[in-house]
Amino acid sequence: MLRCSEAIGQATWDEPRWFRPPFGYRSPWLGEVAAANRMRMVMWTLIPGDWRPKPTEWLIERMKPIAVHAQSLPAKRKALTPSPGGDILCLHDGDYKHSGADRTRTLAALQYWLPRWRDLGLEFVTIS
């Protein structure tokens, strides 16, 4: 965690503030380690499995719960800025086994969903 934080700091001139444990594995002491490094641990609300070699249609269907959740929100809540308690979608920019893995299915699924989520009144924001 420390080496990764240092690398991010050198590349961005800023300290990372958020930490998602690899594979979502947590331990009793991990929160303390993250806090000691001035980071907060954050998890996801939806992890559709984009690392799996499945067809784009499969991934699109796995990302559908975000739209279902958005449709269930009252119109008044959708209008709040910023909206409290949104979804955190965990997607990947590589493969844990192979660097530079093919992400065309992830990009295609996002190309499908981004305009639809926008039409539902969703907006993408940073965690902070």
The predicted model scores a pTM of 0.76
- pLDDT-derived band at 121, boundaries 50, 70, 90: confident
Amino acid letter at 93?
D
Give the model confidence (pLDDT) of 41-88 as tens digits.
899 989 999 988 889 999 999 999 988 888 887 765 544 454 556 788
Q: Work out the angle between the directed axes of helices 64-72 and 104-119 (0-180°, nearest 10).
A: 10
Asked if residues 111 and 2 have their Cβ atoms less than 8 Å apart, the reply is: no
Q: Give the sign of the dihedral formed by CA 23, CA 28, CA 1, CA 85.
A: positive
Distance CA(18)–CA(36), nearest Å, equals: 12
pLDDT score recorded for residue 48: 93
Distance CA(41)–CA(117), nearest Å, equals: 26
Which residues, 6 or more positions from 106, have their beta carbon under 8 angstroms from its beta carbon? 50, 59, 91, 92
Distance CA(45)–CA(68), nearest Å, equals: 13
Give the model confidence (pLDDT) of 14-48 as tens digits.
989 998 888 889 888 888 888 888 999 899 989 99
Amino acid letter at 109?
A
CA 60 centroid distance within chain: 15
